[in-house]
Amino acid sequence: MFIQCKSALAALILVGAMPFAQAADKPTDPQIAHIAYTAGTLDIEAAKQALKKSKNKDVLAFAHDMVRDHEAVNVQALDLVKKLKVTPEDNATSQALTKAAAEERAKLAKLKGAAFDKAYVDNEVAYHKQVNGALETLLIPSASNTELKGLLETGLKIFEGHEQHAEHVASMLK
Amino acid sequence: MRAMVLSPHLGLSLALVVMATPVKAETIQVTIDKLVFSPASVEAKVGDTIKWVNKDAFAHTATVKNGWEVMIPPKKSASLTLKAAGTVDYFCRFHPNMTGHIAVAP
Ligand SMILES: [Cu+2]
C-alpha cells in the first residue's frame, strides 16, 4: 500500500512537471498573465473540491486559505491586465495545466476520508512546487512589463508560503 | 465628578490598572508589504505595543509557535501589547516563509 502510494505520487509529480516542460519558447506577457491566472484558478477549484469532500479541520482551513489568497491574487492580476490593456492569451502551457488539473480532480473525486485528505494535500505540495519552479525559471524572467514582473514576484512569495503551509498540513496528517 | 458615582471597588481596580501600566509604553510599527515584515526584527519592552500594518491584499498572521497569534486582515492593522520579557520568533501561519523577531526587555 505504501509503495503503491509512493509510486503514484512520483508518477503524479512527473505528470505534473510536464505542462511547463512543453513550453520551449519564451512566453509573451499576455501568455504569462493567462498562465498565472489559470494556475490560481485551478488551485481555487482544487480547494473547492476539498471544501466539499473533506471533514478534516486542518485540510478545510488550508483549502479556505487557498481560495482566499488565490482569489485576491487573481483580482490583482485582472486589475493589472486591465490597467496595462493586456488581453490574457490562451496558450499550450495554460491548456496543459488545465488538463492535468482536471485529471487530478477526477482522481481525487474517487477518494474519501483520510485517503482524499492525503492525496489533496500531497498534490497541493507538488502543484505549488511546480508552479514556483515555473515562476522562478520561466515566467518571471520572461515577463517584460515591470508591473507584471512585480505581481509575479509577489505571487511567487505567496505560492512559496502555500507550499510550506501545505507541507505543514501534510506532516499533521501522518 | 464622574468618579463620585463609581463604587469604591471599581475605583480601586481602576487605580491598580493605571499603576500597572508603565509610564513610557511605546507603540512600535511593523509594516507588512508584499509578504515581508519590516523591520523584521524589533526591540521592545514589556508594556509596549506592536502594531502590524498590513499593506497587502492578503490576510496574514503573526503567530508564535505554542504562543500568541494576531490576525492581520488585508489592508488593515492589528496590535498586541507585550506582556512578558524574552525573545520571540513569529511567523505567518498562512505563509510560513514570512518571519519576524521581537526582543522584549523587562
Ligand atoms: Cu502571510
Residue-level pLDDT, tens digit, chain B, 106 residues: 444 444 445 444 444 455 555 558 999 999 999 999 999 999 999 999 999 999 999 999 999 999 999 999 999 999 999 999 999 999 999 999 999 999 999 9
Evaluate whether residue A150 is within a structural domain.
yes
Q: Is residue A23 a contact partner of residue A39, using CB atoms and an 8 Å limit?
A: no
Q: Looking at residue A120, which CATH number applies to its domain?
A: 1.20.1260.10
How many domains are there within chain B? 1
Query: A77-128: per-residue pLDDT in tens?
Result: 999 999 999 999 999 999 999 999 999 999 999 999 999 999 999 999 999 9
Interchain proximity A157–B96, CB inside 8 Å: no
Query: A1-12: per-residue pLDDT in tens?
Result: 444 444 444 444
Q: What is the DSSP letter of A135?
A: I
Q: Looking at residue B33, which CATH number applies to its domain?
A: 2.60.40.420
Mean pLDDT value across chain A: 88
Q: What amino acid occupies position B100? A: G
State the cell numbers at A45.
Answer: 477549484
Evaluate whether residue A56 is within a structural domain.
yes
How many domains are there within chain A? 1
Contacts of B33 (CB under 8 A, 6+ apart): B55, B56
Evaluate whether residue B87 is within a structural domain.
yes
Which domain covers residue B27, as residue numbers?
23-105
Which domain covers residue A149, as residue numbers?
28-173
Q: Parallel, antiparallel, or unpaired for β B41-45 and B99-105?
A: parallel
Inter-CA distances, B73 with A3, A44, A47, B14, Å: 43, 20, 21, 32
pLDDT at residue B14, rounded to an integer: 47
Q: Is residue A19 a contact partner of residue A132, using CB atoms and an 8 Å limit?
A: no
User: Could you say which of A73, A154, A168 has the minimum Cβ distance to residue B96?
Assistant: A168
How near does any CA of chain B get to the CA of A59, in Å? 13
pTM for the model stands at: 0.80
Of the pLDDT bands very low, low, confident and very high (cuts 50, 70, 90), residue A25 is: confident
Q: Is residue B37 a contact partner of residue B95, using CB atoms and an 8 Å limit?
A: no
Query: A97-106: per-residue pLDDT in tens?
Result: 999 999 999 9
Evaluate whether residue A10 is within a structural domain.
no
Evaluate whether residue B30 is within a structural domain.
yes
Q: Parallel, antiparallel, or unpaired for β B86-91 and B36-38?
A: unpaired
Evaluate whether residue B79 is within a structural domain.
yes
- Chain B touched by A102 (CB under 8 Å): no
- Chain B touched by A117 (CB under 8 Å): no
Contacts of A3 (CB under 8 A, 6+ apart): none
Evaluate whether residue B8 is within a structural domain.
no
Q: Is residue B99 a contact partner of residue B90, using CB atoms and an 8 Å limit?
A: yes
Evaluate whether residue A9 is within a structural domain.
no
Contacts of A157 in chain B (CB under 8 A): 34-36, 95, 97
Evaluate whether residue A37 is within a structural domain.
yes
Evaluate whether residue B95 is within a structural domain.
yes
Evaluate whether residue A5 is within a structural domain.
no
